[in-house]
Structure 1
Amino acid sequence: MQGRLAAPPASRGCLDLAQIETIELEGGLIRPDETDGAERLAALREFIRGSLEQADALLAEQFWDGRDVTELVHARAWVVEQLLLLAWKKLVPFTERVGLLAVGGYGRGELHPQSDVDLLILLGDEVAEDRPSREIEAFVQLLWDAGFYVGHSVRTLSECAEDSAADVVTTTTFMESRLLAGSKALLDALLEATATDRMWPGKAFFEAKFEEQVQRHARYHDTAYNLEPNIKEGPGGLRDIQMISWVTRRHLGARTLHGLVEHGFLSVSEHRDLVGGRRLLWRIRFALHLLAGRAEDRLLFDFQRQIAERFGFRDGETSLAVEQFMQLYYRTVMRLERLNESMLQLFQEALADREKDDIHDLGGEFRVRNGYVEVASDAVFPRRPAALMELFVRLAQDESLKGVTAATIRSIRDHLYLVDEEFRADPEVNGSFLELLRQPEGVYTQLQRMNRYGLLAAYIPAFENIVGRMQYDLFHVYTVDQHTLFVVRNLRRFAYGKYQERFPHTREVYKRIAKPELLY
């Protein structure tokens, strides 16, 4: 997608296209310093403001009536595009050396009710000293006055190349550029000057984006299960999905998430989970923007009940409507978080020189590949289901292990059907679980990983009921499953005296407990 958007069905009736065409053709350019310039500018501003308000009201009505949110975010991007182009054509004279580009989420053709409209006003290097500054300022000012939230920059081609080389965030912004007005040659020059394969070698691009995600997750305490989660920036949120999309585009050249299926990185069911998860997050975000009247990405306590009711949830005997809604949300982001982890690890493995893989035997039916545990063959879990539990014991026993390979994560998920009553009664399985709880290190980390992969809920049916379950009050900051795991983590901290200044006696008391695993 490098050009203008096509009108989606949900945009029908949103704009008076005949009136837009009439305004385009009448009177030529508006020059604010001319006699009637201020009056014409005010009339244009009020027309655009009124058109945007009318379109937003119609899209909101369709949303609450149950229209697919995917259609609506694309429809709003199209609506905004028509009004932007009208303003640009009336205020900025056409030249091959100046272009108007959509970037970021708007470049992808996605706009929620209060989202920023990200624009790049691109100048050819030769126009740097003769840029139409007054016209551009009038254009941007009109957009703000008409009710748009504009995120814009004015750059020359050379400045774009310099900024792209210095900052991977800028690089990914340019990857999603679309030409709205101006010369296509200018867009082509931008894409060539900022091409990721020139600016950022494959491994460097991946590492920079991965580090960006690590830092972002750290701001949310590496958990999606907060009382008021950020559905865009938090773990398992929309930014994680976009992270997958950026890396997919950079390394596979695929413009849609389905490219991951075509290249064997995702199964059909995983792709369905990914797209379905994004649709739910888009629905929640669309609702948040409408209810808050601002660009709100935090699922705030005050809005949770309203959205639950709007989405059709009803109070039951054992849980409130809002608790049911939030459990759906938390379980969805848990799946998305797992898919993000698997996809990024697969990309990391694909970028590695496989001839230089460091592979060594871990004993039994496991081996280590470049620091990650994997099963020795696809037949391990079907042949010996107890290996599902043993794998996490192996991880806890060796602190140098980084985690589980993406292929083995998928295999764990695919073989959860093996966790039945016979599995739960198996002495070998139960022995491995107790052995995990006895480990001096890594207990909380592995229980958390088991929860993320679905094994903990499958093994302990009672735990399955609390996965993603929240209690609708301001006291419980995390979901019930996360609170439970945090209790285990805090007990572990007592064991090795992490907070000895605050709790000077806990370590000594802990040492006297004959079977501390029973505490968990």
Structure 2
Amino acid sequence: MNSAFPIAIPPLPRLPEAVPRSGLSDEARLALRQLLGDYARALALAFDAGAEARALGAAHGALVSRVVAQVWRLHLGEPARLALFAQGGFGRGRLFPHSDVDLLVLARDESSFLASRGLERVFTVLWDLGLKPAQAVRTLAAQHALAAQDLSVFTAQMEARWLAGDRAMAGLPAALMTDTTLWPPPRFLAARMQEQAQRRAQRGDSSYRLEPDLKDGPGGLRQLDLLYWLGLRMGLPRDLSALTREGLLDAAAAAALESAEALLARDRYALHLQAARAEERLLFDHQRALAQQLGYRDDAGALAVERFMQDYYRAAASVETLVDEAAARLAARLDPPPPPIALDADWQRRGAVLEPRATDLFHQHPAALVEGALRLDAEAGIRAFSADAARAMRSALHALPPAALAHDADAL
């Protein structure tokens, strides 16, 4: 599927004009279903030709957004005090081939539902069209109360995108975010990191599992979402460059995460196509076929499937390491650590974290990379390197010539 040239994304097809509240005939429903299927097949062909998975997901999301909005208008028109929003990956404008279509209907009050008896019909038609709507229907008051209690509801609300209905309500999910009592940044960060720890405990605490989960596993796309969510809660756009300007990432980390996201999205897109469903785990049954589909080939050095999985593991390890590092940096900013306590000429501690006293220690004295790992294990009450120390160690490791530590007497 590799190509030396950019692959054009299939243009969005035209939809027929929607007459509000006219309903959808059986013939029109079949035509829309055919249109969605044809476009999905065109996207799959573009993917096989080498098109970038995230761009294909954005194109798929754009068409589904238009179809969902049209079905709403055909059955409900433009009702006042009632609006439809996209959430989740769909809210971000991106859909993988078999992803759910997450929807939120917000009403200003209970009476707003009375004039909308066609609401259930909207969701039924979406199922008939071959989509998989996962909907929530709430009043603004109920949404606010639930967002205050449920972190997942609050997080989904951060990326809600208006699709149809009362346009005056388009900014309401974002307006709810201005309530400073709802998951302020320190609490949001702590809760999200606790949730991540629980997910790791349930799914394995390493990105090097033999059958990894591309979405929810360690180093998966969900962990990358966590980084973006932290930025959103700080008022930043969902963009690696914004996180870099804010100092949560350096340029090298941002570039590594960009590459990792592209590869993980590619693998997930291919897996959905291969499994013909919303499969998220790279099961053994799929790995060889995916390696073949993605252009890997056996050679004297390694099998195609081995190279495919090695690329995945490198990407997942980058996400796991760099997101944890950025989260630690944000935590230190929100809750500054205590003043440093010197341990010796080279090392100091700040609370429960270890860091070098000089920023260039690892470049000037590479053996300190080994010494730091030993000290981290030996010092009571220290549980991690500081985010800045982790960044400095990563930079020094990348700058070292091959086998440098093996010939360093101090490291040995």
Q: CA deviation at 1:347?
A: 0.8
The 8 Å contact of residues 92 and 135 in structure 1, kept in 2 or not, is answered as yes
C-alpha distance in 2, partners of 1:289/1:96? 38
Percent identity over the alignment is: 33
Q: Is 1:106 aligned to 2:90, yes or no?
A: yes
Q: 1:275 to 1:131 in 2, by over 3 A?
A: farther
**Counterpart position of 1:316:** 299
Match of 2:140 among 151, 157, 179: 157
The 8 Å contact of residues 8 and 46 in structure 2, kept in 1 or not, is answered as no
The 8 Å contact of residues 160 and 194 in structure 1, kept in 2 or not, is answered as no
**Counterpart position of 2:4:** none
Q: 1:196 to 1:403 in 2, by over 3 A?
A: farther
**Counterpart position of 2:9:** 10
**Counterpart position of 2:367:** 386
Q: 1:303 to 1:129 in 2, by over 3 A?
A: closer
Tell me the secondary structure at the aligned position of residue 137 of structure 2: strand
Matches within 5 A, 1:389-428: 389-416=370-397, 417-418=399-400, 420-421=402-403, 423-428=405-410
Q: CA deviation at 1:382?
A: 2.6
C-alpha distance in 1, partners of 2:404/2:260? 33
Q: Is 1:96 aligned to 2:91, yes or no?
A: no
Q: 1:157 to 1:252 in 2, by over 3 A?
A: closer
Match of 1:255 among 238, 258, 278: 238
Structure number with the higher helix fraction is: 1
Please list the CA deviations of residues 269-319 of structure 1 after superposition, one character each: whole Å capped at 9, or x if unmatched: 211111111111111111111111100111111111111111111111232
**Counterpart position of 1:72:** 56
Q: CA deviation at 1:362?
A: 1.9
**Counterpart position of 1:21:** 16
C-alpha distance in 1, partners of 2:96/2:265? 8
**Counterpart position of 2:165:** 182
C-alpha distance in 2, partners of 1:120/1:331? 36
C-alpha distance in 2, partners of 1:196/1:111? 30
Please list the CA deviations of residues 203-262 of structure 1 after superposition, one character each: whole Å capped at 9, or x if unmatched: 111111111111111112201111111010000000000000000111242331211111
Please list the CA deviations of residues 159-197 of structure 1 after superposition, one character each: whole Å capped at 9, or x if unmatched: 110010001111110000111112333232332234463
Q: 1:168 to 1:295 in 2, by over 3 A?
A: same
Tell me the secondary structure at the aligned position of residue 313 of structure 1: coil
Match of 2:108 among 124, 128, 132: 124
Q: 1:182 to 1:198 in 2, by over 3 A?
A: farther
AA matched with 1:212: E
Tell me the secondary structure at the aligned position of residue 47 of structure 2: helix
Query: Computing the radius of gyration over CA atoms, which structure comes out larger, 1 or 2?
Result: 1
Matches within 5 A, 1:367-516: 367-416=348-397, 417-418=399-400, 420-421=402-403, 423-430=405-412
Q: Is 1:30 aligned to 2:22, yes or no?
A: yes
C-alpha distance in 2, partners of 1:286/1:421? 37
C-alpha distance in 2, partners of 1:264/1:50? 48
Structure 1 unaligned regions, length at least 5: 1-7, 32-39, 431-520
Q: CA deviation at 1:83?
A: 1.1
The 8 Å contact of residues 386 and 423 in structure 1, kept in 2 or not, is answered as yes
**Counterpart position of 1:517:** none
Q: Is 1:139 aligned to 2:122, yes or no?
A: yes
**Counterpart position of 1:211:** 194
C-alpha distance in 1, partners of 2:164/2:239? 25
Q: CA deviation at 1:400?
A: 1.6
The 8 Å contact of residues 9 and 59 in structure 2, kept in 1 or not, is answered as yes
The 8 Å contact of residues 119 and 150 in structure 1, kept in 2 or not, is answered as yes
Tell me the secondary structure at the aligned position of residue 57 of structure 1: helix
The 8 Å contact of residues 121 and 154 in structure 1, kept in 2 or not, is answered as yes
Q: Is 1:363 aligned to 2:358, yes or no?
A: no
C-alpha distance in 1, partners of 2:113/2:214? 43
Q: CA deviation at 1:59?
A: 0.5
> TM-score, normalized by length of structure 2?
0.94
Q: Is 1:334 aligned to 2:317, yes or no?
A: yes
Tell me the secondary structure at the aligned position of residue 359 of structure 2: coil
C-alpha distance in 1, partners of 2:36/2:145? 36
**Counterpart position of 1:500:** none
The 8 Å contact of residues 196 and 250 in structure 1, kept in 2 or not, is answered as no
C-alpha distance in 2, partners of 1:256/1:235? 21
Between Structure 1 and Structure 2, how many residues are aligned?
405
C-alpha distance in 2, partners of 1:422/1:128? 69
C-alpha distance in 2, partners of 1:66/1:337? 27
**Counterpart position of 1:293:** 276
Higher relative contact order (CA 8 A, sep 6+): 2
C-alpha distance in 2, partners of 1:172/1:337? 20
Tell me the secondary structure at the aligned position of residue 102 of structure 2: strand
AA matched with 2:29: R
Q: Is 1:352 aligned to 2:335, yes or no?
A: yes
Q: CA deviation at 1:418?
A: 3.3
C-alpha distance in 1, partners of 2:71/2:153? 26
C-alpha distance in 2, partners of 1:291/1:129? 41
- Mean alpha-carbon deviation: is it higher for 40-49 or for 269-278? 40-49
**Counterpart position of 1:227:** 210
C-alpha distance in 1, partners of 2:101/2:113? 27
Cα RMSD (Å): 1.8
Please list the CA deviations of residues 319-348 of structure 1 after superposition, one character each: whole Å capped at 9, or x if unmatched: 211011111111111111110111110111
**Counterpart position of 2:3:** none
The 8 Å contact of residues 101 and 180 in structure 1, kept in 2 or not, is answered as yes
The 8 Å contact of residues 11 and 76 in structure 1, kept in 2 or not, is answered as no
